[in-house]
Amino acid sequence: MSPVLELFSVVTFPAIDPVAFSLGPLAVHWYGLAYVAGILLGWMIARNLVRKPELWPGGQAPMTIQHLDDFILWVSIGIVAGGRIGYILFYDFAAILDNPLRIFEIWNGGMSFHGGFIGATLAMVYFCRKHEIRLWSMFDLVACVAPLGIFFGRIANFINGELWGRPTDVPWAMAFPTGGPFPRHPSQLYEAVLEGLVLFLLLQLIVRAFGGLKRPGLVTGTFVAGYALSRIFVEFFREPDVQIGYLLGGWLTMGMVLSLPMLAVGVWILTWARSSRPAQTNRAD
């Protein structure tokens, strides 16, 4: 770290190599491992939930373990493709036009949660229609474990030293190597905690202690609204992407704008789920 960074930094940024390990010419990045870890751990917990029929409407899980195993490929494609396309459209379209090869550089970051959310949703709709699985129950199952992927993704953002926060004088501020000589909020860690760990524990409590899966849509609505609220809150501490900046008044960011429709949809789903009768069948909606 340069003397200028040491002068202003309160907490030393842990300079971790973005490359976790190499296999010959192949460099394996922490960013890629984060996606793998989130998907695999989420799959393991989802399998556990499917094996507990007492958690589901009518005492019967809406799908088999084989269905869930087959679904992993579809949702992985939806997350990665949607996340990358979303980032291109929402955040980096002009730069991609100048250098189209940037489309494939996902190891350097450049994944949008909102795009990945849309991609995963489309994958779920297709898979459920094809296999006649109740759609809202699939949404709920994925929502139960999705915060784990968010957690690992934000940790990877921190390791990469990207998506840092705004300048601050809080005791835990850090001077990121790519963020200039100013101590900043480690906003990636804020997101990892709020959007990841806190939301995951809340959803597990709703599912395992209060029978949330028995009312389709309740878990999904909680996840969507909970993520949106967490993201909007953290956006007040996170530096907006330099190519976009603030959209209004030095405070409104693209992350806030994209999260507001999610919040509205999440509240609508919660209202619908609470007012509807618990489902008794396993057919697709």
Give the Cβ contact number of residue 234 at 10 Å: 24
The contacts of residue 66 (CB under 8 Å, 6+ apart) are none
Query: Could you identify the residue written with the tokens 């926060």?
Result: 165
- The residues facing 184 across adjacent strands are 167, 174
Q: 87: which 2 tokens?
A: 């980032």
The SS3 call for residue 133 is coil
The SS3 call for residue 281 is coil
Is 47 annotated for ligand binding? no
- The residue among 232, 115, 109, 111 whose CA lies nearest residue 176 is 109
How many Å apart are CA 267 and CA 251, to the nearest integer?
Answer: 24
- The residue among 256, 255, 263, 261 whose CA lies nearest residue 226 is 263
How many Å apart are CA 277 and CA 266, to the nearest integer?
Answer: 18
Binding site as annotated, residues: 154
